């Protein structure tokens, strides 16, 4: 689960050494898992346990996440994109995580969010939450309406990046609703701890 908490904005010298030390190991693993030098969508899904038995929602969600990490839009993640994704998940600042979240929500890439886009991702998130916690019952349309009433300051039926950032940083309920819950953080941490994973 990605948690949007700032855990200290400064990095100690030890943290930097550990991070640099781990780059070589990350590259070795990346090369082992991706001999082509690129991580493709099907490999990305496999890493996160999304397979033919997974729901359509899980698959669509991971496609959106993959697309958000694919900064040069070539349909694959190279090593630099892979490292940037790991850094964002493990050490990213709130502002960076919010910008990334916005990219995941913005499926058409036009720089603003419409209710359909927000509803689509929220529906997936809540289906995944319900899968892990059957007591989760939420009306996505009501949540979308409330998010837009809080964030859409100029009433143009779209949420800009600025509105998204400002609203999520100021309103804990909005932040909780917009938070992207997926197992990446746990996977990266486990992958880092267990060299045989």
Domain boundaries, the chain: 14-193
Q: 14-193 has which CATH code? A: 1.10.238.10
The model's pTM: 0.69
Residue with tokens 């990095």: 11
pLDDT at position 161 is 95
pLDDT at position 104 is 87
Q: Using an 8 Å Cβ cutoff, are 29 and 39 in contact?
A: no
DSSP 8-class letter at 157? S
pLDDT at position 185 is 47
Name the 3-class secondary structure at 17: helix
pLDDT at position 1 is 32
Q: Which of 81, 106, 94 is nearest to 158 (CA)?
A: 106
Q: Which residues of the chain are under the pLDDT cut of 70?
A: 1-22, 128-137, 181-197
pLDDT at position 13 is 42
pLDDT at position 158 is 96
pLDDT at position 187 is 47
pLDDT at position 157 is 95
CA atoms within 13 A on the CB side of 13: 0
CA atoms within 13 A on the CB side of 112: 13
């Amino acid at each position: 689960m990605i948690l949007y908490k700032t855990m200290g904005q400064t990095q100690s010298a030890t943290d930097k050494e550990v991070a640099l030390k781990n780059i070589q190991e990350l590259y070795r693993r990346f090369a082992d898992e991706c001999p082509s030098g690129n991580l493709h969508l099907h490999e990305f899904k496999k890493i996160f346990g999304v397979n033919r038995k997974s729901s359509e929602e899980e698959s669509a969600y991971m496609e959106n996440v993959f697309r958000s990490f694919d900064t040069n839009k070539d349909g694959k993640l190279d090593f630099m994109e892979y490292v940037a994704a790991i850094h964002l998940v493990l050490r990213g600042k709130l502002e960076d995580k919010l910008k990334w979240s916005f990219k995941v929500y913005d499926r058409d890439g036009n720089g603003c969010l419409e209710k359909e886009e927000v509803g689509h991702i929220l529906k997936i998130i809540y289906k995944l939450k319900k899968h892990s916690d059957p007591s989760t019952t939420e009306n996505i349309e009501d949540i979308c309406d409330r998010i837009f009433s809080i964030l859409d300051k100029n009433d143009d039926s779209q949420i800009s990046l600025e509105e998204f950032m400002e609203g999520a940083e100021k309103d804990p309920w909005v932040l909780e609703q917009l938070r992207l819950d997926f197992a990446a953080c746990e996977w990266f941490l486990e992958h880092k701890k267990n060299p045989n994973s």
